[in-house]
Structure 1
Amino acid sequence: MVTEKKIRSWHLLQTLLQLLLVIFSLIYSLFIHAGGITTFKAFILLILISLQFSVLNKNVNSKLIQCNYYFQAISITSTPIFFFTFVNDLLIKYTNKTITTFVLCLITIYKIFMFIPMGELAMGNVQNKWGRFCLLWFIYLIIEIESTYPIPTNPFLKACTNSAIIGSLSFVVTTWFVMKKWGFVTPNFKFSSRVSKVILSILIIFIVIDCLFNGFNDANSLNGILTNWNFRVASNSNLLYLTLSAFAAGIGEEWMMRFCILSFLLKLLQNSSRQIFWAIFLDGLIFGLIHFLNAPVQPLSATILQVINAMVGGILFSTLYLYTGTIISNIAYHFLYDLAGMIASGSTSMLSPTIFDWQLLIFIVLIYLGLALFLVTGKRKKVVEYNLNLQGLNKKAF
């Protein structure tokens, strides 16, 4: 078991190591290799990393200390972007490719766990509920971006970093500690004992059909939906990269949206008579809107269609999580859905939608919303309420 004392020692050692490497880089840039920009970056890093010792202060109630927790949560997750750039440059300059790849492999593995001290000592001590909500989004985005850096030779490591799978795993590990410290119960990894086997079987069949349809249905009109299938893999597919990308989306997005955000929404709405309805709706709305981030890499029309599809998909994913009582069902569904689409198209981006795509979207919206409504009404609602009680979502966490 990782105790707070051990985490404090971990943070101290980790910060000291970063500090020593930055000091070395600063000395090198000043006296050996004159470079104004490099020296300036190293100096800023030196200040930011030095301030990270301040999270060891145990006086969590002070307003100044509370402000510092926000600053340090942001600083500690942001500085590795520059820190690992320094390390990468040093390795390339002074070692061969074999050593560089080996060291970066160790760093890649370590990055999955490196933000645990930040989560326990800084982010976990933030007390304002809206501050927590905003920090979650920042940490999620920055860890995903920060997890990518160039790997010189190894194809597997390149795929790991480019796909953001390391960032997704790092976010899951970090927020496991953070959410527990905020009073939330971590997700279950097995199905609820109250789930109907018949309904579970129907859900599995639906998920398989939906994933296959997303990737391999080749219809260009409503008449060919049931007959036009093309089970092919795009010739330009990098299967390793696409698989890891789909896995990263499944883990990261479902953990963020269905565990972190949905839990927050359920707590915020705990006094509402329509708690479950509004939490599910808002979770789906947020999930849809964040897909506007894909706009720079694909046509706007494709992004709008994706946003609507993700919005109703998010509502379905939320009800699936609440009914089954396990995050595994969501991760598996999301992973298989994205993987089928990616390996069929050979890309993680969407093409411009056709008129038929918009017509098909209407049916998808109706089917998703219909199934979502079914999972949280009637006898299924009792199962949802039972699962919420097990997760402690009927108790005040703030």
Structure 2
Amino acid sequence: MSAVDAGRLAADFTATFGSAPDGLFTAPGRVNLIGEHTDYSGGFVLPFAIDAATTAAIALNASGRLRLASRSQDGVVEVDLASLEPGAVQGWAAYPAGVVWALGERGVRVEGADILVDSTVPTGSGLSSSAALECSVAVGLRDLTGSSIGLDELVLACQRAENEMAGAPTGIMDQTASLRGAAGHAVFLDTRNQHSEPVPLPLTEHDLVLLVMDTHVKHEHATGGYTDRRRSTELARDTLGVDALRDVTVADLDDAARRLDDVTFRRLRHIVTENQRVLDTVETLRSSSPAAIGALLDGSHASMRDDFEISCAELDAAVDAARSAGALGARMTGGGFGGSAIALLRTADVEAVSAAVRRAFDAAGYTAPDIFPVEPADGARRIG
């Protein structure tokens, strides 16, 4: 995917705010290879950073105000730092403003700042444009203030910004992938204790491609189904009397079925089996070719479609068409209710699979999908 033009962003910053930025900082979006909706249940996830990213141009000052601008939005949002608190900022600006607030709660003081952002991460696509925005700003503010705050704390600050300022009840997976990503690797994360490890994902070496199929069906994490699903998992946790659903095993499901209503049980079953699929995927990647994980990807999609019920007709069409055309495995990725699906396939099958997905969408009358390959990329960093 194309990168943000850093030189143009710096020039636009100067034109917008009247002086040059102190630095340019980039943070990637992510694809979640497997492990959906397990992060807020204390479970396991396996995302990787991608080559689409958000770049933030930042300058600190002592104005007592934030001035926030985006190349995809009109105007400048101004925020009085003295009144910065949850609910004070709406829309896209709540994410960077929330990072400033959350870092301040952890002792990283910003007396004033101008921030201009640009991004190549598609919004609403399930590739975590929000975490890319948060992490680009967080890394920049840490660098420019000289703070020694660690990556685990940055993850929690960005999550708090998203939860409390933007109102989206997400876990820590997206921010961890954006901050800890490494080229050629996925990030195996235990969300209970934030322990993470790089796991080899050598796609090119094995003549494999991971395609993203963006359905253009937009979702908003802060509203609707995502919140409902999280409430269902909390009900299951409380009814079963466990600290987190991560503590429920496949062997416990028969007993859980007797204690939970049907819908809550199916939500639980997705979480429990998805955690196991993550562990199985990690083991497979460490011992054999990524081609061997195809069935695990398929199983994940079926669970999200049938038990967690977060897929949609467009995502199912993309997955089914990709599999029929030769993909080794495919699944929706991200929070659900739209966004993107991914397909793992041989390099030689890229054109056939892409064409099959486009034909399926055309036949159903859906908006044409964007289809593009992604590679595991490095995490957030300074670039200027």
> Normalization by structure 1: what TM-score?
0.27
More helix by proportion, 1 or 2?
Answer: 1
Q: Which has the higher contact order (CA 8 A, sep 6+)?
A: 2
Name which one, 1 or 2, has greater alpha-carbon Rg: 1
More strand by proportion, 1 or 2?
Answer: 2
> Normalization by structure 2: what TM-score?
0.27
